[in-house]
Structure 1
Amino acid sequence: MTVLAADPEAPTSAKTARRPSDESLILLGIGLLALGTYLWQLSVPEQLSFYDSGVYLAAAVHLVSGVVPYRDFTFVQPPGLLYLLAPVALVSRLIGTHDGLTVGRALASVVTAANCVMTAALVRRHGRTAMVVTGVGVAVSPVAFLVSSAIKLDPFSLGFVLLAALVVVGRGPAAALSRRGAILAGVALGVAGLVKLWAFFPFVAIVALVAWRARGRVVALVASAGATFLAGVAPFLLAAPRSFVAEVFVEQLGRKANAADSGSLLWRLRALTGYVDTLVAPSTGVTLVAFTVLAALVVLAYRHWRSVSDADALILFGAVAVVVMLLSSPETYSYYAYYAQPFLIALAVVALWRIGARLRERVAPPRVGKGTRRLVVGAWVASLVLASGAMVLYTTSFYSAYAYTYGYYGRWMGLVTRAVPPGACVVYNQVAFGVYANRLISSDPACPPVVDVYGEWMGNGYQLVAPPRSFSREWLGYFERAQYAVFTRLKPADIPWDGRLTHWFDAHYRLVANKQFVFVFKHISARGG
């Protein structure tokens, strides 16, 4: 019997296992494209739109310093992001909150890039092109550029939702979900809810799919999600039960908005495109046509329900759940649309690819030579690269324009650094000023940790009515203990001014420095004795 020697160049199973697949390379490329552009963007804009960034980093810094949210200061979100930012907060204690803010924004860029990768992975069964279109589409969405450059809840919460979705359907049908996988998905969903309560809506979508396809795993998934959420909130719930429930649940679920922040249904639909604040923002008519076409494509693509994969079903369930949430929330901002972007873009791609697959079954594709095929593929790749580059440049300029409208010039914060000595007790109407100027941490243990002025209003009339006297008295106590006050206006509207508070402040504080939208006041003895 002749024994043939093994070809050393032949691919063995071990070599094949070590070789990265085309899908892995595509996912890596999408991640690098997104991360590279997001990090590059951090060095481009001069204007910083960072109210939320300041609130979340300041709250995390206070937490690692022993000042507890809900008990010692108002914090109207679940504590999940504070856990995630705790390492950044500890670093901020060492290197300063200014550089800590940079680290936090870079972390947000990493998370937002990871979301692009996970969304692309959800459509992998439709092929490499579908993965590229989905991942790049999410990566270069203007609203993604905005949230990637700030510390906001949405990318972090959505990231754990996408992770749970991948655990459930990323490697096959949900029926194959193991008990361990169900627990892992539940933990991810619990963390998502700990970051932002909105995660409840995609949680319902995932539970619905698991109940339909893998009923025996529902209990493990729901129980692990609930246990994770309860474990995360327990320390704060025990420390300040009434404040925690009021701030996280009562005030959030009962939010009221003024006319500027409520947004009409048609405006919210426009915002869902991710382009509402850009120079090419779609009109209401174009938006209605676009969503009508998308709905028609989805109906056409999903009408043969038995052929719909679990991953495609989950994308549909998730898109519907998140869109309903965004259209029905009492308050809205344009960046809220980011929570829906991965689901909507993936849904559009899945619908087109399913329809295309059905057409290819009925109509034989024309035979194309190898040279022509290479030319077409090369042209397609070149077009994709050019389009991506154009979108990167455009959306980066979009971020700068958006931040110019809603943000503050970073160099203005240097005035706070120069006018306020280190360790001084400062009250801000936008705590991000203190974060950026390295003047957040006070050496005075009695210094009031005012983090979120707008959040304080949520329990005091939402700026829709005159401030309650108790609210104004609370701020009088802040000013009495503080050495400095830093405002964005001479008398910013988000401070609960009444006659007594205004008179007392004017008698005890003097303007010592100002530039553009930065006003620094120093606490002095009462004028006239």
Structure 2
Amino acid sequence: MTVACPSGLGGRRPPVERVRLDTHAHVWYAPRLVRTGDFQTPPSNALHLPWAPLLLVGGGAWLLRVAGFFHRGGALGYPVDYDEGVYFSAAALLSHGVLPYRDYFFVHPPGVALLWAPVAALTRVVDAATAFSVARWFVPVLGALSAVLCGRIAQSHWGTRAGIVAALVYAVHPEAAATERGFFLEPLLNLTCLGMAWVLLLPATGRRSWRQDAGAGVLLATACAIKLTAGVWVLAVVWALCLGGEGRRAVRVIGTAALTGLIWLGPFLVLAAEPMLEGLLRFQVMRPPDGELSTARRLLTMLGESHWGGALLSLLGLAVALGRLRRRDAVAERLFSAAWLLTVAAFLSAKSYWGQYNAGLAPAAALLSGLGASQLLLRAERHSRRFAAAVTLAVGLAALSALPVALRSANQRERGLLAIGGSIRAAVPPDAPLCAFEPAWAIAAGRLPGLPVGSPALVDPYGLMLHDALDGPSRFASAAAAFADDRTQRTVLPMLARCDALVLLGRGEWQLSAASERWVDEHFTRDGDVWKRKP
């Protein structure tokens, strides 16, 4: 005899894994279920859900990202952000023995430099411009993997429709797509956080559970070694597990993460503890504000404008997740709702905020979108087929609402970088010390800051100069106000004095004070984009 399992899903019987129960008179088979949101799925079945639709979305995500490279300028012809130049330079310099913190000021954990170092080591074989162009093609792969992983996590817990929606929302997320064409922190950060969530939420018991918790801890520490804002995922993991009565698991995950963090940071702490703590802690806490300063505008950038469709689904999923907060088995709902809320709070309270930071919100937002969509579609099925079809169409349009913006982003072109690189190549000998206020300008010329070894390692002039602004009793209302003060010029001017050529352009003119610009005029002569030292 088999025990019937009422579905409550409009006639759909949920999949079950039968468990043998012996009684005196009969053999009964009772279903053992794991709740996953819109239906209940046993752990064994969750591992055999279809991959094909998710891989298809992942392929589309990759094409959307590499679309920015199909033009005359190639990968270097797509706009290169200031931060990209900093991170690529840091990764490439590792292969030349030039270390962050010890040899130059760096305001992020070392993970991005270490993880990209094997790719950036191409600079040992070819010039920096070629290495950068080749390495940039690797980044869209990370975005495609993140889209697939978003879909797989949602599919495993809330059904295939939830997985497809989550993968689509991530694939067309404008900021995620844009950052996953270059050397930003977010491509590595998102993939690592999603990998951590995937490992953490896999069904397991006994020794396998211990191994999974250790793996999740390693990935969590890796995320924190990439960007400090990954700390929101640490809090989310603790919240998700402890509220479900799994405090021991939380201890295992966080304990493993702490040990792994020591492995990531330990060597640099030994070599340059004070500069490292200055960059990672003091600078981040005390730095002058920059970027979008309005809280309302930050919130609108995160949830409105190009994100309206995904944001509506995310907010619906957030409401569903919060409604399940007390369920012991709702670990995924607690994890992603906490990560979303904490990330939004971190962005609203941060000293600096730029639109590209929204890419860090994409994983939690996409997964909550999948949850919200699954619930919406489930309720629609209880009505007529026509109504269900209309709701399905609306959900699809909402999930893809950001696609036009993502396509416009892919069509952007870098109009001046290649010309600047050509000017530097023509005007500055390869062995002459060069100081460029945008690292990408030197990269386009086939050079790296700090090379030849012994040259000024001006990897991040923006961070270096703002760090100097902290030495004093007064605080500045903005980065622009800080750059006008002589304190910000204290370290950079001696470095410029050691260079044979400077590239200032708009950024250098913004960061140099009036007195520093006069000093440049006295010691250098402008030749197009390059300032050459006077004889």
Q: Percent identity?
A: 23
One-letter amino acid matched to 1:38: R
One-letter amino acid matched to 1:480: A
- Count of aligned residue pairs for this structure pair: 474
Shift of 1:386: 13
Q: C-alpha offsets along residues 408-451 of structure 1, whole Å, 9 cap, x if unaligned?
A: 44344222222222232100111111112102266643310101
Shift of 1:217: 1.8
The one of 24, 28, 49 equivalent to 2:51 is: 24
> How far apart, CA to CA, are the structure 2 residues paired with 1:341 and 1:191?
18
- Alignment check: 8 A CA contact 1:301 1:354 kept: no
- Alignment check: 8 A CA contact 2:239 2:334 kept: no
Aligned residue number for residue 25 of structure 2: none
Aligned residue number for residue 226 of structure 1: 258
> How far apart, CA to CA, are the structure 2 residues paired with 1:306 and 1:262?
38
Call closer, same or farther: CA 1:250–1:301 in 2, change over 3 Å: closer
Q: Does 1:263 pair with 2:277?
A: no
Aligned residue number for residue 7 of structure 1: none
Q: Does 1:334 pair with 2:355?
A: yes
Aligned residue number for residue 408 of structure 2: 397
Shift of 1:123: 0.8
Q: C-alpha offsets along residues 38-75 of structure 1, whole Å, 9 cap, x if unaligned?
A: 12222248451321111111112222211121121111
Shift of 1:396: 2.8
- Alignment check: 8 A CA contact 1:98 1:438 kept: yes
> How far apart, CA to CA, are the structure 2 residues paired with 1:451 and 1:299?
44
- Alignment check: 8 A CA contact 1:123 1:312 kept: no
- Alignment check: 8 A CA contact 2:432 2:500 kept: yes
- Alignment check: 8 A CA contact 2:420 2:444 kept: no
- Alignment check: 8 A CA contact 2:195 2:219 kept: yes
Say which is worse superposed, 430-439 or 208-217, in terms of deviation. Answer: 208-217
3-state SS, counterpart of residue 432 of structure 2 = coil
One-letter amino acid matched to 1:299: A
Aligned residue number for residue 239 of structure 2: 208
- Alignment check: 8 A CA contact 1:168 1:177 kept: no
- Alignment check: 8 A CA contact 1:423 1:441 kept: no
TM-score by length of 1: 0.80
Q: Does 1:52 pair with 2:83?
A: yes
Aligned residue number for residue 344 of structure 1: 365
Shift of 1:457: 2.4
- Alignment check: 8 A CA contact 1:147 1:335 kept: yes
TM-score by length of 2: 0.79
Shift of 1:468: 6.0
Q: Does 1:105 pair with 2:115?
A: no
> How far apart, CA to CA, are the structure 2 residues paired with 1:355 and 1:435?
49
> How far apart, CA to CA, are the structure 1 residues paired with 2:234 and 2:100?
26
> How far apart, CA to CA, are the structure 2 residues paired with 1:188 and 1:308?
23
Shift of 1:207: 1.9
Shift of 1:167: 0.7
Q: Which runs of 5+ in 1 are unaligned?
A: 1-16
Q: Which runs of 5+ in 2 are unaligned?
A: 1-43, 470-478
Map 1:279-294; keep pairs closer than 5 Å.
281=306
Say which is worse superposed, 476-485 or 330-339, in terms of deviation. Answer: 476-485
Map 1:101-500; keep pairs closer than 5 Å.
101-124=132-155, 125-169=157-201, 171-172=202-203, 178-213=209-244, 214-258=246-290, 261-273=291-303, 276=305, 281=306, 295=315, 298-299=318-319, 302-304=322-324, 305-306=326-327, 309-357=330-378, 363=382, 394-401=405-412, 408-440=416-448, 444-461=452-469, 462-465=479-482, 471-489=488-506, 492-495=509-512, 497=513, 499=515
> How far apart, CA to CA, are the structure 2 residues paired with 1:266 and 1:503?
40
Q: C-alpha offsets along residues 253-290 of structure 1, whole Å, 9 cap, x if unaligned?
A: 233214xx1431221112113x74xxxx58xxxx7x99
Aligned residue number for residue 10 of structure 1: none
Q: C-alpha offsets along residues 484-512 of structure 1, whole Å, 9 cap, x if unaligned?
A: 111224961213x353x444422321112
> How far apart, CA to CA, are the structure 2 residues paired with 1:395 and 1:449?
35
RMSD in angstroms over aligned alpha carbons? 3.5
> How far apart, CA to CA, are the structure 2 residues paired with 1:475 and 1:458?
11
The one of 513, 516, 533 equivalent to 1:523 is: 533
One-letter amino acid matched to 2:418: G
Q: C-alpha offsets along residues 192-246 of structure 1, whole Å, 9 cap, x if unaligned?
A: 0000000000111012222233222222211111111121111111111111101
Q: C-alpha offsets along residues 443-496 of structure 1, whole Å, 9 cap, x if unaligned?
A: 64331010111111231224433666565343332222211111224961213x
One-letter amino acid matched to 2:499: A
3-state SS, counterpart of residue 103 of structure 2 = coil
> How far apart, CA to CA, are the structure 1 residues paired with 2:65 and 2:227?
23
Say which is worse superposed, 290-299 or 24-33, in terms of deviation. Answer: 290-299
